[in-house]
Amino acid sequence: MTKKINLYLLEYPNVMPSAIQGVQDLFVIANQQAERSLFEVTVVGVSHDMPIDEAGLMFILPCLTADLPRFDDPTTIAALKKWHQSGIVLVAACTSVFWLANAGLLDGKCATTHWRLCERLDREYPAIEKVCVHEMVVDQGNIVTAAGLYAFQDLALHIMGRLAGFELAKKVADYCLLDIKGRLQAYYQRFLPDYTHGDVMVLSAQEYCLKNYCEDTSISTMAAFCHLSERSLLRRFKAATGYTPKQYIIQLRVEKAKQLMEIEGMSIERVGYKVGYMDVSNFTKIFKKTSGVTPSEFKLRIGS
């Protein structure tokens, strides 16, 4: 009889209850589909004093709070480092990826998190080799990260496939009506401008961009509108928004293009023209570079 695979779910303050239960349920279903007790799932805390299988795997699931916590509790950080050093594979989803980042366990590795947090992860932890904005799951061997709140489903299926084979993971996915491949975070990303930075002049520039995003707007024209020098506008705009004005306008164009395809079902050629691109090949290239998928792939995914 094949030895059971030990999986652990870390219970910490504000961890998402449905994620804990959901992962447990998915591996119960996996055992049912495998017709044997293949996976043993145990919920543990950081002070867990029972032996943990060094060949096992630890899930650190998302938290459920309105504001992102600090994820710097020294006891939890120490436990994560200890488990990692012992050889246990650590897997995290959404906000809980910040636990691994704070522990230094993502240094030199690729990782992902929720698309709204990717820029913050990249900015605050420069030792991370690459933050994969468009991916749903990033597997680095002894560290695996996943994107959004309910990406724990993708994460669980990925781990099933990795530990027990694709066939079993596919059976579970089919049984639960879940996608097992082809799902990218790129299909769900949206550009949500930040208007809370408090720089009135930059707010004026953002308003200008919103009204004129489909035009070929020069920095000098925008600076004159805001009564700033070009240099001052560029410096303040990047500091407040994280983008140059040119990058910001591209984000606005791509976001509007997504809306036109989703809501109005427009053709790719017409969408490109509506957001300021006369050349559909140029539009396609910029859309793919910005969103991670081509306009055709995006339309196919949303059924437009």
According to the model, what pLDDT value does residue 111 have? Answer: 98
* CA atoms of 150 and 213, how far apart (whole Å): 33
**pLDDT for residue 180 is more than 90:** no
Q: Which of 82, 94, 202, 65 is nearest to 155 (CA)?
A: 94
* CA atoms of 147 and 202, how far apart (whole Å): 30
Higher model confidence: residue 235 or residue 302? 235
What pLDDT, in 10s, does the model give residues 29-43? 999 999 999 999 999
According to the model, what pLDDT value does residue 184 have? Answer: 86
CATH number for domain 200-302, candidates 3.40.50.2300, 1.10.10.10, 2.40.30.40, 1.10.10.60: 1.10.10.60
**pLDDT for residue 182 is more than 90:** no
According to the model, what pLDDT value does residue 304 have? Answer: 63
According to the model, what pLDDT value does residue 1 have? Answer: 41
According to the model, what pLDDT value does residue 56 have? Answer: 94
Measured between its terminal Cα atoms, the distance across the chain in Å is 49
What pLDDT, in 10s, does the model give residues 188-226? 899 999 999 999 999 999 999 999 999 988 999 999 999
Q: What is the pTM of this model?
A: 0.84
Neighbouring CB atoms inside 10 A of 163's CB total 16
Domain boundaries along the sequence of the chain: 5-187, 200-302
Say what percent of the chain tops pLDDT 90: 83
Give the CATH fold of the 5-187 domain: Rossmann fold (3.40.50)
Output the DSSP codes for 147-184.
-SGGGHHHHHHHHHHHHH-HHHHHHHHHHHT---SS--
Burial of 23 (0-12, 13-18, 19+ CB in 10 A): buried
> Which residues are 40's β-sheet partners?
6
What pLDDT, in 10s, does the model give residues 94-143? 999 999 999 999 999 999 999 999 999 999 999 999 999 999 999 999 99
Residue pair 168/30 in contact (Cβ under 8 Å)? The answer is: yes
Three-point CA angle 279, 280, 285, nearest 5°:
105
* CA atoms of 233 and 209, how far apart (whole Å): 13
Residue pair 172/157 in contact (Cβ under 8 Å)? The answer is: yes
What pLDDT, in 10s, does the model give residues 68-105? 778 889 999 999 999 999 999 999 999 999 999 999 99
